[in-house]
Amino acid sequence: MPASKSPTPRRTHWKRVVLWCLGLGAAAVVCGALIIGVTTALVLRELPDVSTLSNYQPKLPLRIYTADGVPIGEFGEERRRLMRFDAIPRAMKDAVLAAEDSRFYQHGGVDLQGVLRAVWADLGGKRQGASTITMQVARNVYLSSEQTFKRKFYELLLTTRLEDQLTKDQIFEIYLNQIYLGNRAYGFAAACQTYFGKPLEQITVAEAAMLAGLPKAPSANNPLANPKRARSRQQWIIGRMEELGYITPEEATQARAEPLRLRDAADPKALHAEYVAEAVRQQIVAQFGDSAYTRGLNVYTTLTSADQQAAYAALRKGVMDYEQRQPYRGPEVRVELPAGGDALDDAVDSVLADHPDDGELIAAVVTQASDKKVSALRANGDAIEISGNGLRLVRSALAAKAPAALRISRGSVIRLLPGAKDSWSITQMPEVEGAFVSMDPRDGSIRSLVGGFDFGQNKFNHVTQAWRQPGSSFKPFIYSAALDKGFMTTTMINDAPLHFDSAATGGAPWDPKNYEGTFEGPMTLRAGLTHSKNLVTIRILDAIGVKYAQDWITRFGFEADKNPAYLTMALGSGAVTPMQMATAYSVFANGGYRVAPILVRRITDNDGQVLMEAAPATLDESNRAISARNAFLTSSLLHSVVRNGTGSKAYAALKRDDLYGKTGTTNDSFDAWFTGFQPTRVAVAWVGYDTPRRLGTRGETGASAALPIWIDYMRAALSGVPVEKEKPAPGLIQQDGEWYYDDFTPGYGVASVGIDNDLTPLTDGSAGVPPEAVPQERSRILDLFR
């Protein structure tokens, strides 16, 4: 029997190789599994505790509102408004699901169907993402956006952990509040306010679909920057919502056709309260530190949106009207323009990028100019023609012999103001500044505050920071001091020339004049203020004593050291702010009480818990500044100013018999003021240059530059407010249309002052005249001047 053959060396070798390979493969699998297991265990130990997201609290900005809830400011790195899941509209949730993850409530965090679709699309040359909402939450909350294996691995592990520890609604809520949506807006509530200027609760299906298109590409799909692309994405999402049954075909048709009203930050009708927002920001940061920017504080001011809108519009109009009375200073810049076509459009876009519209002040580039007509292009491509009265300001700049610096020609950048019936007029960016503030004298609530013409151009708050000479608007406080000394509204004062040496003025010798340059002789104290007679006020101040007057004005909130005790104080040569003037005039308006201005009424946290609430000021004897009789008599004088004097334009325009106020024009017309009130509202308007100089070539007055602003505001603020009847203070009696103290205080009574021009008060037996003898005494005093 033949011996059996042993395996050949070749066959034995291959068996061994196969066995070795199988063994190595098994070992590799085991080692790989061990490595993956150990790595995963180590990574899981490093991953954050996602259970904290069950009480999701992102960084929330500081938000500032008017008293009636209109937002006026937001400060923080991120614009965000936290909304709980149940409060988010169904349309917004459905639009996001349709756009980002329609199987969100079916998958466990990683959508295998979505992954397969993405792979298939990639094979077909179309890139498609497969990130679920949960994966995006993991990435946006904890990870960076870098495209590395490590980051992807972390993302998958975090996704699993999120799905394990949070409910689907909790994950979805985080996504809806966390995702970046362009324009510094995080979350859909903030985006709705940013793009549409309204709360998310009011969103429509069409608007929800527009916002749902932003997570994929916040810049490219931004409706403000790329409306065509944003519209295309929106239409696709509406189709997906219909396909998934979230909306009916009829609702889809309506949504596709709905015109979108995007928010325009430059809209002149938008509420502008930038100076208020900045002032409040500084106050809140001083109180809460840097955490104010992240803890979601809501600050409610005392402003009312209607008052603020009226104040802003009035100040802007007043300043622009002033500019129309000034010489034209020339185009903002000149550029060379191509003949036409796309090159012309590109050139216009390029130059206007550096000269954007400023509210109602529209920037445009001139394409053709003659003395009869100017043609120009706006940044939005609109072609505009200006002719007739629209060229009034620039007629000299259109003349053939106009200086090169002034000439308007092709390539000139100009400013336009829209008018009635699609008309336009050429204007210019103002160099002059202005300020306006109003408050309720009964409790100190600031109702409006506009610190300058344009916050973007000049952030200096002229209401609170500008120390300016008040001019004649300061005179009522001198008259109030005189009334306290015993003067009456019928006291006779001589309006005649005066001369003072340097000792009396604290400076150079002084020969004061009235604004008109004329003198009218003896007149009553009332007539002196009604017609703003400088010589009368100076005589009164000298009679009562400058130190007494300096002490008296501190009752109204003025600072003594900023109003030196010299006779020039009679003409408002000291320094005040518009806010001080509003506070001071409130004393006359409310019957003699000094109330501190209040700008912040309430502060809450993001959950609505009240952290601080300021109680309105009350009018009681603890804050009395002057007697009720003094306040009434001074107000009576201010009423005469509006009815018959330098403020008569107010009465003519508003036709109300409860208006009080005083114009103010400083020396050389550097500052123009009007400060006045109705018993429920005190308002101050100021116009001037930051570097003081003459207001206009011919000089402007408080009546011409500031009073129109005050009138425009009051017309809106007092609309529907009943006219308040005069309420005399106790302790006064009326005789021949004038008011007198019923207990006559020793002093000047109805005496005359300054008859002999030496400023010596002449009492000559007339001081302290009983009321019943006043008519005869007035006649006797008048006889002295005959």
Specify the pairing of strand 681-688 against strand 732-735: unpaired
What is the C-alpha to C-alpha distance for residues 94 and 68, in angstroms, rounded to an integer? 32
**DSSP character for 270?**
S
Annotation marks residue 704 as catalytic: no
Dihedral sign, CA of 264, 268, 272, 274?
positive
Q: What tokens appear for 535 in the block? A: 């010589």
Closest CA to 677 of 661, 654, 664: 661
For 441, 633, 743, the CA distances from 726, given in Å and listed in that order, are: 16, 11, 21
Closest CA to 671 of 503, 468, 528: 468
CB neighbours of 713 closer than 8 A, spacing ≥ 6? 307, 310, 311, 314, 436, 438, 448, 683, 685
C-alpha dihedral (272, 278, 281, 282), degrees to nearest 10: -160
What is the C-alpha to C-alpha distance for residues 342 and 481, in angstroms, rounded to an integer? 70
Closest CA to 642 of 586, 590, 707, 578: 707
Dihedral sign, CA of 163, 164, 165, 168?
positive
Closest CA to 432 of 650, 714, 704, 715: 704
Q: Which residues of 327-361 are buried (b: 16+ CB within 10 A; e: fewer)?
A: ebebbeebeebeeeeeeeeebbeebbeebebbbbb
* Residue given tokens 């019957």 in the structure block: 591
Residue 167 has φ and ψ, to the nearest 5°, of -80, 165
Collapsed DSSP state (helix, strand, coil) of residue 448: strand
Q: What tokens appear for 554 in the block? A: 């501190």
Looking at residue 654, its amino acid is L
For 432, 462, 673, 686, 704, the CA distances from 690, given in Å and listed in that order, are: 7, 9, 15, 12, 19
Collapsed DSSP state (helix, strand, coil) of residue 71: strand
What is the C-alpha to C-alpha distance for residues 206 and 256, in angstroms, rounded to an integer? 7
- Cβ–Cβ < 8 Å for 314, 436: yes
What is the C-alpha to C-alpha distance for residues 687 and 685, in angstroms, rounded to an integer? 7
Q: Which of 74, 78, 100, 433 is flagged as catalytic?
A: 100
* Segment (H or E) for 156: helix 149-165
Beta-carbon count within 10 A of 102 CB:
18
Beta-carbon count within 10 A of 773 CB:
15
Q: Which of 102, 305, 472, 704 is flagged as catalytic?
A: 472
How far from each other are the two terminal CA atoms of the chain, in whole angstroms? 172
**DSSP character for 480?**
H
Residues in the chain: 786
What is the C-alpha to C-alpha distance for residues 362 and 426, in angstroms, rounded to an integer? 9
Collapsed DSSP state (helix, strand, coil) of residue 431: coil
CB neighbours of 460 closer than 8 A, spacing ≥ 6? 451, 452, 466, 690
Looking at residue 139, its amino acid is R
Residue 753 has φ and ψ, to the nearest 5°, of -130, 130
Q: What tokens appear for 585 in the block? A: 């005039």
Closest CA to 484 of 374, 629, 381, 343: 629
Beta-carbon count within 10 A of 62 CB:
24
Annotation marks residue 445 as catalytic: no
Closest CA to 210 of 320, 95, 287: 95
For 66, 328, 427, the CA distances from 390, given in Å and listed in that order, are: 37, 13, 9
Which sequence positions are flagged as catalytic?
A: 100, 472
